[in-house]
Structure 1
Amino acid sequence: MARITAGVACSHIPALGVAVDFDKTEEAYWKPAFAGFDWTRAWEKEEKPDVIILVFNDHATAFDMKFIPTFAIGCAESFTPADEGWGPRQVPVVQGHPDLAWHIAQSCILDEFDMTIINEMEVDHGLTVPLSMMFGKVDAWPVRVIPLAVNVVTYPPPSGNRCWALGEAIAKAVASFPEDLNVQVWGTGGMSHQLQGPRAGLINKEWDNRFLDQLVGSTDALRHIPHIEYLRETGSEGIEMVMWLIMRGAMGKTTEMLHRHYHVPASNTAVGHIVLRPVAESDAVPANDAQGVAA
């Protein structure tokens, strides 16, 4: 049977992709941001996942104001890097896994999630930058990818609770897929940042690190954070962190942390990264009693 073996979360800052593409990762400004992914790149080579369910948000590339799905799953054979205004990134075409993607779509829809099924979609930096951070510059991505796009651009975005529950539904779907597959779930975006207005450049290190803390263990406090708290504490783009909760929900009741990285600034944004392993209930430690993220 297919199995979810790990969860990964990371920022998808477009400037990180530029640094990779133009060989700037060893420069003094960028090196500390990239150093936190060295462990993960080595770990991924050992883990050898077959499929990544990659949760991201489109940045007005595949979708615009004419069509805004809350949750959309890519079921195509492949996904071409998009031109975001300066030409497509020179990265490999993303190879999908239609059989598993369709199975997840069917399972989630029957579990009463109204998924939008996408059979053709170009993918932007929200999806390709995390792949570059974990695998570097390669001729072909070493894994198949199922894109899962979430609306966090236009009001109303889904609640953290709904995202967490979708992760649980995805885990159920993967567990019922008959092929033997090593599956990872990635949540991308964030962390705290605001790109416009009087608070442009806002970064909240304390809040971000409490959020990272509570991805580990058995607390589910993160699923109950209201939208207004993300806006107030993490800036207008901090809402992207609800996508991390899809990953966390897919990990089951309890997680253990394998790796963690946090760095600021990177293009006026906080870089966050964490790698989690689901813990079997028989191996779980007692639940911690962490409360809400913000005071």
Structure 2
Amino acid sequence: MARISAGVATSHIPAIGATIDNGKTGEPYWAPVFAGYDWSKQWIAEEKPDVVIIVYNDHASAFDMRIIPTFAIGCADRYGICDEGWGPRPVPEVIGHADLAWHIAQSLILDEFDMTIINEMDVDHGLTVPLSLMFGQPEAWPVKVIPIAVNVVTYPPPSGNRCWQLGEAIARAVASFPEDLNVQVWGTGGMSHQLQGPRAGLINAEWDNRFLDLMSTNDGETLRTIPHIEYLRETGSEGIEMVMWLIMRGALGRMVKPLHRHYHVPASNTAVGHLILRPAESSSSEV
């Protein structure tokens, strides 16, 4: 049967993608950011996941104000790289796993989650930057990807509790798929940042690190009950992206084992946060 072997959380800052694409990762400003992913690259090369479910938010690339799905799942065989205004990133196209994606879509809908099913979609930095951070610059991505897009751009976004519940439902869906697959779930976005207004450039390192602490423990109740207003007040208007991490965390079960943690300020106008977690009951090998 398919199994979820690990969860990854990471920021998906667009400037990180540009830094990788332009060969500037070794510059003094950026080197500490990327150093935090050296362990992760070695780990994932040894883990060799078959499929990664990437939870991300679209940045007005595939969706706009005409249609705003709260939760959307990509069920296509492949996904192109969109032009976000400066040309598509020079990265490989993203290959999907349609059989598993359709299975998850069916399972989630019958589990009473009203998913929007997407059969054609280009993906933006929200999805490609995490792939680059974990896999570098390969000629082809070494995993198949199932995109799950979450609305954290326009009010109202889903609650942390609903995101956690979606993660639990994804875990049930994966566990009922008959093919033997090593599946990871990635939650992307964040951490604290605000891109506009008087608080533009806000970074709350204390709150970010408390959130990383909670993600790394078995205290799901605290995480899933953080209200929208706290994210807004403490982490800025874009800090709400962290609810997407809760989908990954919910998919791992109540108990987790932290494998790796990285936090760095600044990167562009935000902080970089990164975690790798293992379901506590997993018997997979460690690095």
Q: Give the corresponding residue for 2:280.
A: 279
| 2:7 partner amino acid | G
Q: Secondary structure at the match of 1:200?
A: coil
Q: Give the corresponding residue for 2:256.
A: 255
Q: Give the corresponding residue for 1:291.
A: none
What is the alpha-carbon distance in structure 2 between the residues aligned to residue 122 and residue 110 of structure 1?
27
Checking the alignment, whether the CA contact within 8 Å between 1:58 and 1:124 is kept in structure 2 is: yes
Mapping of residues 1-295 of structure 1, within 5 Å? 1-220=1-220, 221-280=222-281
Checking the alignment, whether the CA contact within 8 Å between 1:216 and 1:254 is kept in structure 2 is: no
Count of residues paired in the alignment: 282
| 1:31 partner amino acid | A
CA offset at residue 217 of structure 1?
A: 2.4
CA offset at residue 280 of structure 1?
A: 1.8
CA offset at residue 7 of structure 1?
A: 0.1
What is the alpha-carbon distance in structure 2 between the residues aligned to residue 207 and residue 8 of structure 1?
20
Checking the alignment, whether the CA contact within 8 Å between 2:5 and 2:282 is kept in structure 1 is: no
- Unaligned 5+ segments in structure 2 are none
RMSD, aligned α-carbons? 0.9
CA offset at residue 281 of structure 1?
A: 9.3
What is the alpha-carbon distance in structure 1 between the residues aligned to residue 256 and residue 270 of structure 2?
27
| 1:168 partner amino acid | E
Checking the alignment, whether the CA contact within 8 Å between 1:9 and 1:274 is kept in structure 2 is: yes
Q: Secondary structure at the match of 2:266?
A: coil
Q: Secondary structure at the match of 1:222?
A: helix
Counting aligned pairs with the same residue, the percent is 77
| 1:135 partner amino acid | F
What is the alpha-carbon distance in structure 1 between the residues aligned to residue 217 and residue 16 of structure 2?
29
CA offset at residue 207 of structure 1?
A: 0.2
| 1:212 partner amino acid | L
What is the alpha-carbon distance in structure 1 between the residues aligned to residue 175 and residue 134 of structure 2?
25
Checking the alignment, whether the CA contact within 8 Å between 2:56 and 2:189 is kept in structure 1 is: yes
Q: Secondary structure at the match of 1:170?
A: helix
Checking the alignment, whether the CA contact within 8 Å between 1:185 and 1:247 is kept in structure 2 is: yes
Q: Secondary structure at the match of 1:271?
A: strand
What is the alpha-carbon distance in structure 2 between the residues aligned to residue 58 and residue 200 of structure 1?
21
What's the CA shift string for 1:196-249, capped at 9, x where partnerless? 100000000000000000112211111000000000000000000000000000
What is the alpha-carbon distance in structure 2 between the residues aligned to residue 237 and residue 118 of structure 1?
25
Find runs of 4+ consecutive structure 1 residues off by over 4 angstroms: none
Q: Secondary structure at the match of 2:123?
A: coil
What is the alpha-carbon distance in structure 1 between the residues aligned to residue 46 and residue 79 of structure 2?
26
| 2:248 partner amino acid | M
Q: Secondary structure at the match of 1:214?
A: helix
Q: TM-score, normalised by structure 2?
A: 0.97
Checking the alignment, whether the CA contact within 8 Å between 1:254 and 1:281 is kept in structure 2 is: no
What is the alpha-carbon distance in structure 1 between the residues aligned to residue 86 and residue 214 of structure 2?
38
What is the alpha-carbon distance in structure 1 between the residues aligned to residue 217 and residue 242 of structure 2?
18
Q: Secondary structure at the match of 2:215?
A: coil
What is the alpha-carbon distance in structure 1 between the residues aligned to residue 41 and residue 227 of structure 2?
34
CA offset at residue 122 of structure 1?
A: 0.3
What is the alpha-carbon distance in structure 1 between the residues aligned to residue 216 and residue 130 of structure 2?
21
Checking the alignment, whether the CA contact within 8 Å between 1:70 and 1:151 is kept in structure 2 is: yes
